[in-house]
Amino acid sequence: MRTMRNRRKIETQMERQNRHKAMESVAVLDKLKNDFSKPLEAMNYFYDLFERVYCKRESLHDRSVKVGTLCIQVPYEIIYALDAVPVRLCNGFHTDDEIGSDFAPSKACPLVKATVGQFSSGNFVDRPDLVVSPTTCDQKSKAGAIIESMGYPIYDMEFPRTKESEESREYWRRSVRKFTKDLSKELGVKLTRSKLKKTIRRIGYAQYLYHRLNTLRKSDNPPILGVDMFLVTNAFFFDRLESWIEAVERLVEECAAKTEEESATYQNSPRIVYTGSPPIFPNLKIPLLIEQSDGLIVADETCSSNRMFNDMISVDEWFLYDMVDSISDKYLKGCTCPIFTKNSDRIRRIINLVKEYHAEGVVYQAFAGCQVYEMEQRSVLSAMEKEGIPILYLESDYSPSHLGQLTTRIEAFIESLKNRRRKKACAISQE
């Protein structure tokens, strides 16, 4: 009774996962490229990069030793100085989140589930040779153990939960020194003073470029969309350092010219500071919704973007041990992650960003299941209230559904910012 239908090959599990990832990527890139007027020429490098890696599955570090990192707290400088390439594996794919749900409670953080999901499928464009898991938040610490049980070599890098005390500083310094020694041994590469100095300088230059780009966003005529900016900083997770630097150099040049233009592109859009759980490609859902609703993200406080570049390493003496300690200080003292017991630094930084970037409101996103961001919501909200800064708190995950409700909330928030602006203008003209 069966029809003589044409039998077609059924996709393998891996082919299916790759198709899912390509579909998710295209959906976001498509919106970035088409939904906004006046695209930047230099952004094409980044659009292509993400398409090459996630749709065409092109390897970028074919011949290098790759050190996977599960958190922003792993010092890139040391990995580069040991002739290896760091690849940050914090994951934004919904399809991996679904795969990871088999290994973690359903209410766990989607980022952690997606990361675990990718390891369980073993489906990497650039497969890591070693994975470093800092013991920052609970879920990431436990994820490290789950990933290890899947047969990956995991290096637990101990991280303190307070940052004010001298003990925690010393504890973390020892942890970084140990990591440096162990990695050097593992890779069979000796760390030299000149190499470490060179990589500190090179990453410092990347940070400088980021700061130049960011500073341009303070202008009355901000040249770049927040979603584009997230794409640029997300690319730093895995791109070749030198290609990234070149592309951002071009971007800085174009943006600098654009701020000089007379007609401002985003003049009427309320300026927004974005904070909370990190948007990681392709989960740029909330930033996209903000900017599709005519808001403009002028600055952010997230570990997938600003926090990677914000603080520079300051070295007193260019001796090997001093450099390693300086690196460890930068990673601890500059960190504004909510895993710390107290986190007044983060609140201060958000307020500073609002002032420096002339922002009119803050959007705070917490991933459903990311307890620390959920818990810190109260203190940030009340601090903003004290300062008279409007803030919108959103909880979301990686699922593409329920966009309608989120859109309504975001649109209403942006409209309220527009109203404030109008009232302010009226008040000034009446004076």
Contact positions vs other proteins (CB under 8 A): 1-3, 5-6, 8, 10-13, 15-16, 19, 22-27, 30, 34, 55, 400-401, 403-404
Q: What is the β-pairing status of strands 84-88 and 130-134? A: unpaired
β-bridge partners, 274: 300, 363
Which phi and psi angles does 151 have, rounded to 5°?
A: 100, 15
Contacts of 395 (CB under 8 A, 6+ apart): 365, 366, 367, 368, 374
Q: What is the nearest approach in angstroms of other proteins to the Cβ of residue 62?
A: 23
Q: What is the nearest approach in angstroms of other proteins to the Cβ of residue 284?
A: 14
* Nearest Cα residue to 118 out of 262, 255, 18: 18
Which phi and psi angles does 134 have, rounded to 5°?
A: -75, 145
Which phi and psi angles does 185 have, rounded to 5°?
A: -65, -45
Contacts of 36 (CB under 8 A, 6+ apart): 225, 291
> Closer CB to other proteins, residue 30 or residue 170?
30
The answer to whether 189 and 70 are in contact (CB under 8 A) is no
User: What is the rounded CA–CA span in Å between residue 348 and residue 331?
Assistant: 18
Q: Write the CA distances from 310 to 156, 190, 198, 233, integer angstroms.
A: 25, 29, 19, 12
> Closer CB to other proteins, residue 26 or residue 245?
26
β-bridge partners, 384: none
